[in-house]
Amino acid sequence: MTEQNLEALTREYQRQIAVAECKNVMGRSMYYGVAWLYRKLLGLWSQREDCQLSLPWGSYTGRKGVERCYLQDFGDRNDPGRLEKLKGIMMLYTIDTPIIEVAADGQSAKGVWISSGCDTWRENDEHPKGYWRWGKYLVDFLLEDGCWKIWHMTFYPFFLTSYDQSWTQAPAYDYAFFKTSCDRPRDTPVYHYGKDVVYPDDQPSIPTPYECM
């Protein structure tokens, strides 16, 4: 085997490891979110100050913004009194159809997923209500101190509808069930189903091979 072939084989091996690690990071984020383990979920993120988390109702900027989203808006199950507030509430999401591209320099990666799931929420002391939730994730990853971390994450909503209601009758999914502290509330409309609406072809863009971030 020539030195050139060995280098190519090594790069491909490292690329395959990166793809597997990025999938695991996203999988862990879903598991932690379901269990309301938001401190552990925060540990999956980069320490960089240019992190970005964009959700249907708005964006959270920087590492501090991500921390505020997870620990203030959502809240960790281990916070004092939090378990009492979580009674009857459930979020269960899956992710599939991954497409991941690792940069040629091996220091970053881009991935997209389709996500489906269900929510169970209650307002005040009312009986909990069930909802279906679908959307897509676009995520940028960085190799940081030898570990793959989330750098940017955007969730593109399909719909959020009560379990007994057709998604064709649901309102636009641009809200949260709780008070939020995002840095920049959404200023553009989300995709919303309508009989005369065509789904956009760039939400999110499928990653293509690239040199570096």
Burial class (CB in 10 A: 0-12, 13-18, 19+), 37: middle
Rg of the chain taking only CA atoms, in angstroms: 19
The pTM of this model reads 0.93
Residue 200 in domain: no
Domain-embedded: residue 157 = yes
What are the residue ranges of helices labelled H in the chain?
Answer: 3-34, 38-42, 62-67, 82-85
Low-confidence ranges of the chain (pLDDT < 50): none
**151 lies in which domain range?**
3-185
SS3 81: coil
Cα 19 from Cα 142, distance rounded (Å): 12
Distance CA 157, CA 190 (A): 7
Could you say which DSSP state residue 10 is in? H
156 found inside a domain:
yes
With respect to residue 196, please indicate whether it lies within any of the assigned structural domains: no
Q: Please, is 195 exposed, middle or buried when counting C-beta atoms within 10 Å of its C-beta (0-12, 13-18, 19+)? A: exposed
Residue 208 is assigned to a structural domain of this protein: no
Is 67 within 8 Å of 53 (Cβ atoms)? no
Residue 69 belongs to a domain: yes
Supply φ then ψ for residue 22, to 5 degrees: -65, -40
Instruction: Kindly state whether residue 85 falls inside one of the protein's structural domains.
Output: yes
How many domains does one find in the chain?
A: 1
Indicate whether 181 belongs to any domain: yes
CATH at 174: 3.10.450.50
Q: What is the pLDDT of residue 213?
A: 85
Assess contact for 76 and 39: CB atoms under 8 A: yes
Q: Which residues of 118-152 are buried (b: 16+ CB within 10 A; e: fewer)?
A: ebebeeeeeeeeebbbbbbbbbbbbbbeeebbbbb
